[in-house]
C-alpha cells in the first residue's frame, strides 16, 4: 500500500511576509516561489490579493509562472469582493485554490467582527459557495479555531463542507493551544465532517509550540500542514517548514508519513529567504541555523570525528548544509585541533600537537572563536621548528 502523504502548504509569501521586516516585492516573491516549487511543496499561498495592488500583482505573477506540479493559493475574507479579487489573481495558474477565512471564536465574533454566530454561519455558507463557483479547490479556515467553542466550530466546518469546501483548516491563530488539546480538536472536527475533506493545521509559535502542535495534529489525522520557511510569520512566527519536514523524515519510525519536500534543498531555501528579506536566522535555529551542525565541546567533537551519528541525528548533507563544522573554542579537544591543522595542510608530530594545544587553550580562554588565521599564527610563534607543511 502506498504510504500516506502530508501535503505541505507553504505560506511564507502570505503569513510569513506579513511579519515586520519580512515584506517582499513581486520579483522577490517570484524568486522565492520558484525555489519553493523546486523544494517540492504542494501548495504555495502567494498572498492576499484584496490587500493591495502590489499583493494582487504578486499573486497573479506567481500564478503565471507556476508549473503543473504545484497549486497556487490566494487568501480571501468571507466576502464577495475578496473572493472575486482572489479568483481574478489566480486566473493564470494551472492549479489554484481560494482560501476563505472567517473568525469563529466568540472573542473575535463579538469584539472584532460584531457578528452573531448564526450570521457568521450564513456568511461561511455563502462565501464558500461563491468561491466554489470560481475554483474547484476551496479551503475554509475558522480563524482562532482553537479558542472557538468546540460544538460551534464543528458546525462552522460542517457548513463549509456542505457549501463545497475541500480542505478545512484549523488555525491556532494566537499560538494558544497545546499538543494534546490540538489533537483532540482535529479528532472532533473529523468526527463531525466525515472522511471526505482534507483537514489542515496552521500553527503560530507564541508559546514555542507551533511545530509540536502541528505534529500532534498530523498524528491525529491532519493531512495538510501550513508552515513557513525559517518559521517567519506574525508575532513569534508560524510553524517552521524545515522542522516539520525533518521531524517527519527523521522520526519516520514513529510517524510513517511522507512529504514531497526534497530535504536537501531546505538549507539553500532558508538561505535564499534570508538573503531576500535581509533577516538572518538565529544561530541555534533547528535544521538551518549556523550552529545546527556545529560541534564545539571536546567530547562531542571527538565523538563526531569517530562516528557522526554519535551526536548527529541527521546528516548536514540531508538538509543541504555542505558539511558539519567543528567550531574551535575553549571546549574543543586535541583531536579536533589536530584535524583542523590537517585540513589546513599541516602534519603535526605528537610533541608539537601537545605544545600547540596548550597555547590554543590559553588563547581560547581569551577569544570566543578561534579562526584558521589564529591557528597559523600560533604555529608561527612556536619556538620549536615549524612542522612540515604537507
Ligand atoms: O493564523 C491564522 O488564523 C491565519 C488564517 C488567515 C488562516 O493566518
Ligand atoms: Zn496565520
Answer yes or no: is pLDDT of 2 > 80.
no
Ligand 1 site-directed mutation target among 55, 103, 143, 169, most atoms within 8 Å of CB: 143
Residue 223's pLDDT is what?
98
Q: DSSP character for 175?
A: S
Structural domain boundaries in the chain = 7-277, 297-380
Q: Distance between CA 173 and CA 17 in Å, rounded?
A: 16
Determine what percent of the chain is predicted with pLDDT higher than 70. Answer: 97
Q: State the average pLDDT for the chain.
A: 94
Report the candidate in 314, 333, 334 with the shortest Cα–Cα distance to residue 324. Answer: 314
Answer yes or no: is pLDDT of 180 > 50.
yes
pLDDT tens, position by position, 271-319: 999 999 999 999 999 999 989 998 889 899 899 989 989 989 999 999 9
For 7-277, the fitting CATH number among 3.40.50.2000, 3.40.50.300, 3.40.50.720, 3.20.20.70 is 3.20.20.70
Let me know how long the chain is: 390
C-alpha torsion angle, residues 294, 296, 302, 304 (rounded to 10): -10
Answer yes or no: is pLDDT of 337 > 90.
yes
Could you tell me if the CB of 45 is within 6 A of ligand 1? no
Query: Cα dihedral sign for 239, 241, 245, 247?
Result: negative
Query: What are the residues facing 85 on neighbouring strands?
Result: none
Is residue 7 within 8 Å of 42, Cβ to Cβ?
Answer: yes
Residue 207's pLDDT is what?
98
Residue 225's pLDDT is what?
99
Q: What is the mean pLDDT of residues 328-340?
A: 90
Could you tell me if the CB of 173 is within 6 A of ligand 1? yes
Q: Distance between CA 43 and CA 72 in Å, rounded?
A: 6
3-state class of 101 per DSSP? strand
CA of 134 to the centre of ligand 2 (A): 24
Could you tell me if the CB of 270 is within 6 A of ligand 1? no
Amino acid at each position: 500500500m502506498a504510504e500516506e502523504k502530508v501535503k505541505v502548504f507553504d505560506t511564507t509569501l502570505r503569513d510569513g511576509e506579513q511579519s515586520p521586516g519580512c515584506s517582499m516585492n513581486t520579483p522577490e516573491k517570484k524568486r522565492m516561489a520558484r525555489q519553493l516549487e523546486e523544494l517540492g511543496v504542494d501548495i504555495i499561498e502567494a498572498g492576499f490579493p484584496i490587500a493591495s495592488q502590489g499583493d494582487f500583482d504578486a499573486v497573479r505573477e506567481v500564478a503565471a509562472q507556476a508549473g503543473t506540479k504545484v497549486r497556487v493559493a490566494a487568501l480571501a475574507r468571507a466576502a464577495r469582493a475578496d473572493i472575486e479579487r482572489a479568483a481574478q489573481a489566480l486566473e493564470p495558474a494551472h492549479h489554484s485554490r481560494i482560501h476563505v477565512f472567517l473568525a469563529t471564536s466568540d472573542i473575535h465574533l463579538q469584539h472584532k467582527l460584531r457578528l452573531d454566530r448564526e450570521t457568521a454561519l450564513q456568511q461561511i455558507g455563502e462565501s464558500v459557495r461563491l468561491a466554489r463557483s470560481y475554483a474547484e479547490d476551496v479551503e475554509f479556515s475558522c480563524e482562532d479555531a482553537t479558542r472557538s467553542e468546540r460544538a460551534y466550530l464543528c458546525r462552522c466546518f460542517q457548513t463549509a463542507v456542505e457549501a463545497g469546501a475541500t480542505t478545512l483548516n484549523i488555525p491556532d491563530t494566537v499560538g494558544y493551544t497545546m499538543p494534546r488539546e490540538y489533537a483532540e480538536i482535529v479528532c472532533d472536527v473529523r468526527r463531525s465532517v466525515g472522511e471526505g475533506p482534507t483537514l489542515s493545521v496552521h500553527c503560530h509559535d507564541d508559546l514555542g509550540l507551533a511545530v509540536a502542535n502541528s505534529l500532534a495534529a498530523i498524528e491525529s489525522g491532519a493531512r495538510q500542514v501550513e508552515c513557513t520557511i525559517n518559521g517567519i510569520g506574525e508575532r513569534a512566527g508560524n510553524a517552521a517548514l524545515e522542522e516539520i519536514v525533518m521531524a517527519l523524515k527523521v522520526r519516520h519510525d514513529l510517524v510513517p508519513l511522507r512529504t514531497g519536500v526534497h530535504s536537501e534543498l531546505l538549507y539553500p531555501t532558508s538561505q535564499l529567504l534570508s538573503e531576500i528579506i535581509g533577516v538572518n536566522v538565529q544561530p541555534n535555529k533547528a535544521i538551518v541555523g549556523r550552529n545546527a551542525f556545529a560541534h564545539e565541546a571536546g567530547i562531542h567533537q571527538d565523538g563526531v570525528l569517530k562516528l557522526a551519528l554519535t551526536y548527529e541525528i541527521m546528516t548536514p548533507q540531508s538538509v543541504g548544509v555542505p558539511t558539519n563544522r567543528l567550531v574551535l573554542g575553549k571546549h574543543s579537544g586535541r583531536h579536533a585541533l589536530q584535524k583542523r591543522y590537517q585540513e589546513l595542510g599541516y602534519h603535526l608530530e605528537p610533541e608539537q600537537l601537545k605544545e600547540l594545544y596548550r597555547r590554543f587553550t590559553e588563547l581560547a580562554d581569551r577569544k570566543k572563536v578561534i579562526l584558521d588565521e589564529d591557528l597559523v599564527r600560533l604555529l608561527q610563534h612556536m619556538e620549536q621548528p615549524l612542522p612540515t607543511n604537507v
